[in-house]
Every structure is written in C-alpha cells, then in structure tokens.
Structure 1
Amino acid sequence: MDEVIQVDPLTALGEHIAGALGGVILANEISYGELTLTIERDAIVAVATFLRDDAKCRFISFTDVTAVDYPERDERFDVVYHFMSPQLNQRIRIKLTTDDTMPVPSITGVFRGADWFERETYDLYGVLFSGHNDLRRILTDYGFDGHPLRKDFPVTGFVQVKYDEERKRVVYEPVKLMQEFRTFDYLSPWEGTDYVLPGDEKAKQ
C-alpha cells in the first residue's frame, strides 16, 4: 500500500503562487505559521490582483501595509503588506524593498482600503507610492519635518508645538532640552560608566 504524503497547505499555497507568477517571486518562506513572499517592487499590483482573484487564493481582505527601516542598506525599506483569505482561513505577508526616492506602485486600484495605509507609510517612513491620488501626511502635521519612524529620526524630534497666549495661535519652536543629562550612554553602573551613583562613593574609594 502506497504511503500518502501530506503536503502542508501553506507550502502548497506558496508553490501555487510562485508557479503562477514566476520570476516576480524572489523568496517563499513560512515563518511563525504564516506564508511570506518577497517580490519584485514593480510587481505589487499584479501580485495583489492575483491574490484577490485567483480561485485557490481569494485573499479578498486587505489588512495592512507598513514598512521596516534598515538604514544601513541601499534599499533601506522593507514594505510589508498583509492580506487575509476567509475562504482559506489564512493570512499572507508580501514584502518588497525600496529606498526613499524609488516609488512603489499603489495598490489602491486593487484594494481601495489601501489608501490611508499607504498615506500612513509615506508619512511615518517617507516611502513614496506612485499612482496614489492623494499622497499626503495623515498622522503628522503638514509642516512636519522628517519621518518619525525612521531609525535615524531623533527621539525628541526637531520642533515642539505649543499654544502661544500672546499671539493667540499654535506656534512651532526648536526643541529645547532643559534636562542636564540628555546624552545617554545606556550603560549600567557595572559597565564602566565615569559617574558615581549616590551611595556608591565609598565603594569607589
């Protein structure tokens, strides 16, 4: 009697998508119980359309797009999409890479709900989306300087906002750091810091 080999559904799904889309799929892996496909940047619209319409996929629910910043890389951003298929009861993650000048095609023509998610990714990371009809900031103010979720963005920001009683309006001012110690070395007292903590004076003698 021949042994029946059970194929993992996610493995089979990944092979089906890779076989149908060919060379635009750069990597196919299963991690933490979820299928992740890395694709060519310019193929995102075709991939999203296939995932939505293919009878074996039916990823009809778009749930998120965001980014991850790796400033040491030439293409510093991973742009990450998440889709869900109620038919399969599965989720899928799609990744592609880009930099801060090369736009990613918008998928708003495939999933209208991607509109605000792409705006958020632009606002917080500076990822550009070509074909988006209203790509402007959505969480920060229109005059905001920089993109606050980039790894090289200062934690304190560049400006502070306050209401000025004399001018009767909101004003922007450079950040003023009043605390004496703002350059933290993140070392514990046991890792060779130069300062003496209160109570440790006798131990240093």
Structure 2
Amino acid sequence: MALPHGVVQQVLVERGAELVLRVRREALIETMTLLRDGDAFAFEQLMDLCGTDFPERPLRFEVVYNLLSLSLNQRIRVIAATDAASPVPSVAGLWPCATWYEREAWDMYGIVFQGQTDLRRLLTDYGFEGHPLRKDFPLTGYVEVRYDEERKQVVYEPVKLTQDFRNFDFLSPWEGMTTLPGDEKVHLNRIEGPKP
C-alpha cells in the first residue's frame, strides 16, 4: 500500500536522527493508517499529539503527532498544518488515547478535530473564553476570577490594568547592569593594585 502523489509535502531528518514527515491535512487518516498498519512501518503507538501556533502563516497551526514503533524500535514525527477554521481529521479511531490529546489541543489552541465527539474543555474552566496558548491571546487573559468577601462568592470581572503595567521595559536586567554589587572592589584592585 502506498500513498497517492502529493500527500507527503516534506521529509526531514532533524538533529541527525529524528524523522519528520509533513503531510497534507486532508490525507492525514490515510497516512496514519499506513504508518500504523504497514509492515514496513508498524508505528503501533501514538506517544503524543500537540499543537503549535505561527500566527504570521496562513496555516497558522501545526498539529504534531509523535509515533513509536516498538517492534522496529523507531520513532517518527508527523506534522499537519491547518488554519483556525479548517478542522483536522481525528485520529482517535486509530489510537483511542488521541481523544485526550485532541481535547487538549482544542482547549489550548482552538484546533478543531473532525470526528472527535468529545471536544470539551480539559485544562481551562468551563466558562473560559479563548484559547490560552495562541500567540495572540493576551498575557493577562480577558477575565479576572477572584473571591469577593462581601458577596461571599467567586466573581468574574473584566481585567483592568493600570497604565504602569502596559508599558514594558524589554531590556533584560542582565543586559542593563554594567556592574554587579561588589564589582567596585575588583575594579579598584585592578587600578590601584591590591592593598598590603
């Protein structure tokens, strides 16, 4: 069994030993079935599935699948790209453990998996809005959750930042310091020489 022409977009060997396969999203199930069931591949286990976000690209999300062949002692990384609107086919029918990972990728990035029947929040609160691992998600979020002592309940309020928190000094503290505390003694010893 072979894949049709154009399914595999790129094959790389990274860090000298890691095989990476970039495939078209539309042919993901066919590719993964071949990698799992083909005698030459025998990737029986899905070890991990995660997302990455590159907001400057038209297909901003990549879904990364790490597969393991115990019988052949091999690993492979399969990557399929998508945008915010196009769903990625679910591989939970091939590897049931993918349900957890796909829920996590949906919760954190908003990547939708076609055929996944259990896309519920996994790591964020039920009423949470947005997807916190997207690069364009604000660092402070949209809502603040706190316990109101007067009301004796948990309240959700819009985040309010003072202007001081909006002006960031991007200079690293290590780059901004020209001398460290205690360096003045070393500097004087170089100029005057050690004291007798």
Question: How far apart, in 1, do the equivalents of 2:111 and 2:64 lie?
Answer: 11
Question: How far apart, in 2, do the equivalents of 1:130 and 1:115 lie?
Answer: 12
**1:166/1:119 CA distance change after superposition, 3 Å:** same
> In structure 2, the residue corresponding to 1:68 is in which secondary structure?
strand
Instruction: Give me the TM-score of the superposition, normalised by structure 2.
Output: 0.81
- CA deviation digits over 1:127-184, x for unaligned, max 9? 1101001112110112111111111111111111112233333221122335834321
Question: How far apart, in 2, do the equivalents of 1:25 and 1:129 lie?
Answer: 20
Cα offset, 1:121, TM superposition: 0.4
Match of 1:28 in 2: 11
**1:189/1:142 CA distance change after superposition, 3 Å:** closer
Query: Which moves more between the two structures, 156-165 or 85-94?
Result: 156-165
What percentage of residue pairs aligned between the two structures are identical? 55
Are 1:53 and 2:37 counterparts? yes
Instruction: Give me the TM-score of the superposition, normalised by structure 1.
Output: 0.78
Match of 2:113 in 1: 129
Are 1:169 and 2:164 counterparts? no
1:180-191 correspondence to structure 2 within 5 Å:
180-187=164-171
Match of 2:132 in 1: 148
Cα offset, 1:106, TM superposition: 0.5
Cα offset, 1:99, TM superposition: 0.6
Instruction: Please list every run of 5 or more consecutive structure 1 residues that lacks an aligned counterpart in the other structure.
Output: 1-18, 193-205
Question: How far apart, in 1, do the equivalents of 2:94 and 2:33 lie?
Answer: 6
Match of 1:92 in 2: 76
Cα offset, 1:187, TM superposition: 2.8
1:110-125 correspondence to structure 2 within 5 Å:
110-125=94-109
> In structure 2, the residue corresponding to 1:36 is in which secondary structure?
strand
Instruction: Please list every run of 5 or more consecutive structure 2 residues that lacks an aligned counterpart in the other structure.
Output: 177-196
Greater Rg, structure 1 or structure 2?
Answer: 2
Are 1:74 and 2:58 counterparts? yes
* RMSD (Å) for aligned C-alpha atoms: 2.2
Cα offset, 1:61, TM superposition: 0.9
Match of 2:180 in 1: none
